[in-house]
């Protein structure tokens, strides 16, 4: 299974020793179960065809999907092509938001502010076969302020919370998105929060860092993603 990783950001140099860059994090998440082929889309690299890989994953980013950057517009068009071709697509954080926007939904800064640390969301939607490893109370590391505020056509919310009503979505049978980060590690999120303390707010960061003692369901989400991209059809 050849999975294209559409890399939408890079870890700051001083944080690289913690868990590496995005391709390293996703490689660790999947433990060699797939062949990851990385594309540095934030630097302008895009695949020539959706057929280059069997499935596609779009990473998180410090950018916002509504930023007027040419690479974001081009990536959005590519994601639409992937979904139109019925290649399995998985959007993570920014990647989920980009999918929603590219298909006609809306993304905005959440009035409730940042969500950082370990987030709890409740699975309320249908549970297709690929989702069986995911618990009803899903815990993932998070770091975002933007959220999907209007769904595109055919999108369905599978999980959410009062703070983040749209936390897991499916668009038809070939595209899913997670607002949380299964690939992140607790030490990385701690360092990321500390580096953004002035932007996020000290009290919010302190609560987030205390939450990092909780175990997450990252391995269950990794198994679910694998089942999703392996599903026939």
Q: Which sequence positions are flagged as catalytic?
A: 93, 181, 183
How far apart (Å, rounded) are the C-alpha atoms in residues 201 and 194?
10
Beta strand 168-171 pairing with 155-160: antiparallel
Residues 63 and 8: beta-carbon distance below 8 Å: yes
Residues 179 and 221: beta-carbon distance below 8 Å: no
Collapsed DSSP state (helix, strand, coil) of residue 188: helix
Alpha-carbon 67 to chain mean position: 18
- What strands lie across the sheet with 35-39, from one edge to the other? 35-39, 2-6, 55-58, 89-92, 175-178, 168-171, 155-160, 115-123, 137-144
Provide CB contacts within 8 A for 166, sequence distance 6+: 100, 147, 148, 149, 151, 157, 160, 179
């Amino acid at each position: 299974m050849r999975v294209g990783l559409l890399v939408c950001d890079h870890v700051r140099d001083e944080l690289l020793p913690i868990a590496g860059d995005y391709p390293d994090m996703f490689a660790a998440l999947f433990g060699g179960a797939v062949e990851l082929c990385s594309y540095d889309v934030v630097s302008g690299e895009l695949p020539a065809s959706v057929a280059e890989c069997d499935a596609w994953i779009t990473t998180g980013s410090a950018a916002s999907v509504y930023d007027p950057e040419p690479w974001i517009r081009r990536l959005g068009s590519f994601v639409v092509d992937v979904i139109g071709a019925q290649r399995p697509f998985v959007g993570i954080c920014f990647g989920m938001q980009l999918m929603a926007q590219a298909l006609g939904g809306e993304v905005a800064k959440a009035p409730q502010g940042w969500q950082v640390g370990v987030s709890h969301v409740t699975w309320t939607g249908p549970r297709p076969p690929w989702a069986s490893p995911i618990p009803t109370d899903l815990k993932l590391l998070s770091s975002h302020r933007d959220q999907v505020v209007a769904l595109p056509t055919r999108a369905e919310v599978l999980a959410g919370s009062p703070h983040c009503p749209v936390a897991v979505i499916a668009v038809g049978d070939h595209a899913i998105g997670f607002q949380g980060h299964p690939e992140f590690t607790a030490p990385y999120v701690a360092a990321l929060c500390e580096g953004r303390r002035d932007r996020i707010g000290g009290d919010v960061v302190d609560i987030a860092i205390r939450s990092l003692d909780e175990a997450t369901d990252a391995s269950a989400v990794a198994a679910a993603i694998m089942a999703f991209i392996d599903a026939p059809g």
